[in-house]
Chains A and B, each alone.
Chain A
């Protein structure tokens, strides 16, 4: 009984702000709301029109490429930076701070700064290209470059954040192991591959889950930089949900799209708890 009482505050919050909204969303996706406020049960109709909606598929595929583009690179970069600044060297504090800065900056400000980088002709990137007599390029206005541009920006933003986790994990590692490896004559790369990296796996998993969630959570930059354009080339799932829910005021269809996002993310969570956790060595 006492245990339940202790759990109660957390349980109330979880139910009120997580579980109930999820159930309400699922229910709402089975209805359409008319403009005059009444609701009509339509079964799976919303899901059928979703399957026929080219913008939804485009957003889903974009999200896949976006995740693939950002997650591995930002994790690798974070690890590299963490290993590098985890040594005794001059300016270490400054370097760590520099890597972490992108995370601290407000998203909207960041988006505006990068918008300037990518502006055709007089943006920073095109001015650099101008030094080599290359013509200006419409970075965010071309379907072929808009996604890579966003990916680069997000890697820049995320890598520093993930580095902090790796740095903390690296400092927890016992130096004995490394010394023992050194005595045995193992190369640095071998030590990293067989000792350091496996011991960092719990951190890697945590960071990877965060990276996946973030790749589905990006909205602010899109609002400022591309509005999902050109021709939906940079529309991600959550941005499309925002557009449907607030610009088009179609909450039923937005709920349907949200259910897809929910299913995607909970599948990932199940994968983590059911499969990956068992294969990772926790100290």
Chain B
């Protein structure tokens, strides 16, 4: 009896304590987010979340770093199937079809009071997330692919350090001059590197756009990998290493490419603008950032992650999530995020803030990704995105490693994609 009594007291005390801790109406949110670039991104996110919580004591946000984009999507989906989904997540803007197919997310339209909010963002960044008249996601860490060039290397090679290549032919010609070999004939500096792991489909799409070719249809049920212009795009890419000898042979790693550039191992790299601040902080030489060069036209796919709200969250949680997303994407915060990482700010208003304006004046590279939006098209987004990305990535890797010709590699990717997408027509 004595034991029982003590337990009762303990339980009562616990109940009182838990009532006393925090306001009764506190809403807990869990958010998964990915990091695909260099720099202390997790710290920046944690800091922003802490400030949000300070301003909104009734909402508690647990931000969970979940790996790269694929990992984060995998974790969110697995958590959902395990019955414990996050309430919101930053996932690839292109994952929208998969998330809709999985019945995982809710459209934002019914959760916001004022839909004019959607109009504050760049339409190019909204494009991937607006399907069937609904808005399924809000842009956050968005990007385009940009070209970084090492001005010191340009000068050394006798090129104008202030002038980046503007066309494919120019890039190939300049890259030839930029290659540096040592006494024994080994290459110590490559002309250009385009990453072939992680997001190879993204790079291929950029080349295809520049060559005047779309990669997918609007409803996300078809890909155009065997179109002659897509094949020509991969031909050009592969030719840089196999024919012109200005790019390393074999696959080029997405994650270590920035280090290659910073170490001077390559004079030009194609990468996301999200890496801009990490490059700026790490470069011991003068560098410039330019839009991608043109073949028929300039162009880059947009890229990066949007906020999604999960269907399984309670109405209070969904409302709190909208509040959080709103807070994170206000012009001031979008500008701060852009300055700290290099990602493009998601709204025109962000570029008009004083902080961003001052920053861009001293560092013009900060607005290249935005200026490129004029030529940007939505990133490759279809049903079964994960699978299709793998097929395209495999094809690119087969081609750059020389195990298949670009034509054959893309033909096999097209065939596999058709088989998977057949179910959605």
**Chain A residues at the B interface, C-beta cutoff of 8 Å:** 35-37, 49, 54-55, 119-122, 133-136, 138, 140-143, 227, 229-233, 243, 246-249
Docked Cα-Cα span, A119 to B186, in Å, equals 17
Q: Which residues of A contact B409 (CB under 8 A)?
A: 231
Q: Which 8 A-B pairs have the closest CB atoms?
A: A138-B250, A141-B250, A141-B251, A230-B397, A135-B186, A231-B397, A231-B398, A133-B184
Of A133, A143, A233, A243, the residue contacting B186 (CB under 8 A) is A133
Of A122, A229, A230, A243, the residue contacting B263 (CB under 8 A) is A122
Docked Cα-Cα span, A140 to B248, in Å, equals 13
Q: Does B403 contact A (CB under 8 A)?
A: yes
Q: A142-B401, A247-B70 are in contact. Are A35 and B103 (CB under 8 A)?
A: yes
Q: Which residue of A lies closest to B391 (CB)?
A: A55
Of B185, B250, B256, the residue contacting A230 (CB under 8 A) is B250
- Least CB distance from A278 to B in Å reads 44
Q: Judging by beta carbons under 8 Å apart, are A119 and B256 in contact?
A: yes
Q: Which residues of A contact B401 (CB under 8 A)?
A: 141-143, 230-231, 233
Q: A36-B103, A248-B386 are in contact. Are A229 and B250 (CB under 8 A)?
A: no
Q: Judging by beta carbons under 8 Å apart, are A246 and B102 in contact?
A: no
Q: A37-B103, A138-B251, A141-B253 are in contact. List 14 more A-B contacts (CB 8 A).
A: A35-B101, A35-B103, A120-B250, A121-B265, A134-B186, A141-B250, A142-B251, A227-B197, A229-B394, A231-B394, A231-B395, A243-B390, A249-B77, A249-B102
Q: What are 23 A-B interface contacts by the 8 Å CB criterion?
A: A36-B103, A37-B103, A54-B416, A55-B394, A120-B248, A120-B250, A135-B186, A135-B187, A136-B248, A141-B248, A141-B250, A142-B249, A142-B251, A143-B403, A229-B394, A230-B197, A231-B395, A231-B401, A231-B403, A246-B77, A246-B78, A247-B73, A248-B386
Docked Cα-Cα span, A119 to B74, in Å, equals 27
Q: Does B318 contact A (CB under 8 A)?
A: no
Q: Does B384 contact A (CB under 8 A)?
A: yes
Q: Does B196 contact A (CB under 8 A)?
A: yes
Docked Cα-Cα span, A122 to B189, in Å, equals 12
Q: Does B393 contact A (CB under 8 A)?
A: yes
Q: Which residues of A contact B187 (CB under 8 A)?
A: 135-136
Q: Which residue of B lies closest to A139 (CB)?
A: B250
Q: A133-B184, A229-B197, A231-B403 are in contact. Are A246 and B74 (CB under 8 A)?
A: yes
Q: Which residues of B contact A229 (CB under 8 A)?
A: 197, 251, 393-394, 397
Docked Cα-Cα span, A133 to B186, in Å, equals 8
Docked Cα-Cα span, A134 to B186, in Å, equals 7
Q: Which residue of B lies closest to A37 (CB)?
A: B103
Q: Does B252 contact A (CB under 8 A)?
A: yes
- Least CB distance from A56 to B in Å reads 12
Interface 1/0 per residue, B181-203 and A, CB below 8 Å = 00011110000000011100000
- Least CB distance from B96 to A in Å reads 14
Docked Cα-Cα span, A282 to B394, in Å, equals 49
**In this complex, which of B253, B404, B419 has the most chain A Cβ atoms within 10 angstroms of its Cβ?**
B253
- Least CB distance from A38 to B in Å reads 12
Q: Which residues of A contact B197 (CB under 8 A)?
A: 141, 227, 229-230
Q: Which residues of A contact B101 (CB under 8 A)?
A: 35
Q: Does B412 contact A (CB under 8 A)?
A: yes
Q: Does B387 contact A (CB under 8 A)?
A: yes
Q: Is the interface of A mostly helix, strand, loop or mixed?
A: loop
- Category for how many chain B residues contact A: 35 or more
Q: Which residues of A contact B253 (CB under 8 A)?
A: 141
**Could you tell me which residues of chain B, from 317 to 365, have a CB within 8 Å of some CB in chain A?**
none
Q: Which residues of B contact A143 (CB under 8 A)?
A: 401, 403
Q: Which residue of A lies closest to B188 (CB)?
A: A121
Docked Cα-Cα span, A94 to B328, in Å, equals 55
- Least CB distance from B407 to A in Å reads 15
Q: Which residues of B contact A232 (CB under 8 A)?
A: 394
**Could you tell me which residues of chain B, from 394 to 415, have a CB within 8 Å of some CB in chain A?**
394-395, 397-398, 400-401, 403-404, 409, 412
Docked Cα-Cα span, A13 to B210, in Å, equals 59
Q: Judging by beta carbons under 8 Å apart, are B251 and A54 in contact?
A: no
- Least CB distance from B379 to A in Å reads 18
**Could you tell me which residues of chain B, from 91 to 111, have a CB within 8 Å of some CB in chain A?**
98, 101-103
Q: Which residues of A contact B390 (CB under 8 A)?
A: 243, 247-248
Docked Cα-Cα span, A157 to B419, in Å, equals 40
- Least CB distance from A32 to B in Å reads 10
Q: Which residues of A contact B416 (CB under 8 A)?
A: 54
Q: Which residues of B contact A243 (CB under 8 A)?
A: 390
Docked Cα-Cα span, A55 to B263, in Å, equals 36
Q: A122-B263, A142-B249 are in contact. Are A248 and B387 (CB under 8 A)?
A: yes
Q: Which residues of A contact B384 (CB under 8 A)?
A: 248
- Least CB distance from A130 to B in Å reads 8
**In this complex, which of B78, B187, B251, B256 has the most chain A Cβ atoms within 10 angstroms of its Cβ?**
B251
Q: Judging by beta carbons under 8 Å apart, are B397 and A35 in contact?
A: no
Q: Which residue of B lies closest to A145 (CB)?
A: B250
Q: Which residue of A lies closest to B416 (CB)?
A: A54
**In this complex, which of A54, A120, A231 has the most chain B Cβ atoms within 10 angstroms of its Cβ?**
A231
Q: Which residues of B contact A55 (CB under 8 A)?
A: 394
- Least CB distance from A171 to B in Å reads 45
Docked Cα-Cα span, A36 to B101, in Å, equals 8
Of B73, B250, B265, the residue contacting A142 (CB under 8 A) is B250
**In this complex, which of B74, B101, B185 has the most chain A Cβ atoms within 10 angstroms of its Cβ?**
B74
Interface 1/0 per residue, B246-264 and A, CB below 8 Å = 0011111100100010010
- Least CB distance from B411 to A in Å reads 12
- Least CB distance from A132 to B in Å reads 9
Q: Which residues of A contact B74 (CB under 8 A)?
A: 246-247
Q: Which residues of A contact B248 (CB under 8 A)?
A: 120, 136, 138, 141
